[in-house]
Amino acid sequence: MKENGANLTPEDLKPSGQRFWGYFKNICGTPDKFFETSFVYNYLPQQWMKEHGANLTPEDLKANEKEILYGIIDPIFAEILELYDVKIIVAIGKFCEKRAQKTLAKYLPEKSIKIVYMPHPSPRSGGADKWYKQAQKCLEDNNLMQYYK
């Protein structure tokens, strides 16, 4: 968020999914254009909540609980990567980047899948304008914009 929460805009408060899909709608025009070359895979397609309603993330789990969870999810992720013959992973956020690195190293070491880091569009990460510029830079720096325009 902006310093001391001052001058927040409605764009700054958008949930991460709205930022992400809004950005790609802006550059692609239509969902069809995005999905010609890309798909979104949610590494952990479940939602867990703490007693007071906040998200429970893998980072909130004990080390042994995380390892059990990753032991289930990583091989599935590897199968998806092979099924779709993925060449480039755009990892949205550090957690996804780390899980992609570990999955490739353990389950697909012979594959040469490139991992590109893109910051997570969470409102907790800062203003929307900052994220849009970072996303644009990520795509441009990695020669990926060609797939969306």
d(CA 101, CA 18): 27
| Residue pair 27/149 in contact by the 8 Å Cβ criterion | yes
In a domain, 3, yes or no: no
Residue 30's domain is classified under what CATH number? 3.40.470.10
Give residue-wise pLDDT tens across range 64-99: 999 999 999 999 999 999 999 999 999 999 999 999
Give me the number of domains the chain comprises: 1
Q: Tell me, what's the pLDDT at 126?
A: 67
- Kindly state whether residue 81 falls inside one of the protein's structural domains: yes
Q: Which domain holds residue 94?
A: 10-147
Tell me whether residue 121 is in a domain: yes
Q: Considering the domain boundaries, does residue 1 fall inside one? A: no
Q: What is the pTM of this model?
A: 0.84
**Tens-place pLDDT, residues 6-46:** 565 666 656 788 899 999 999 999 999 999 999 999 998 77
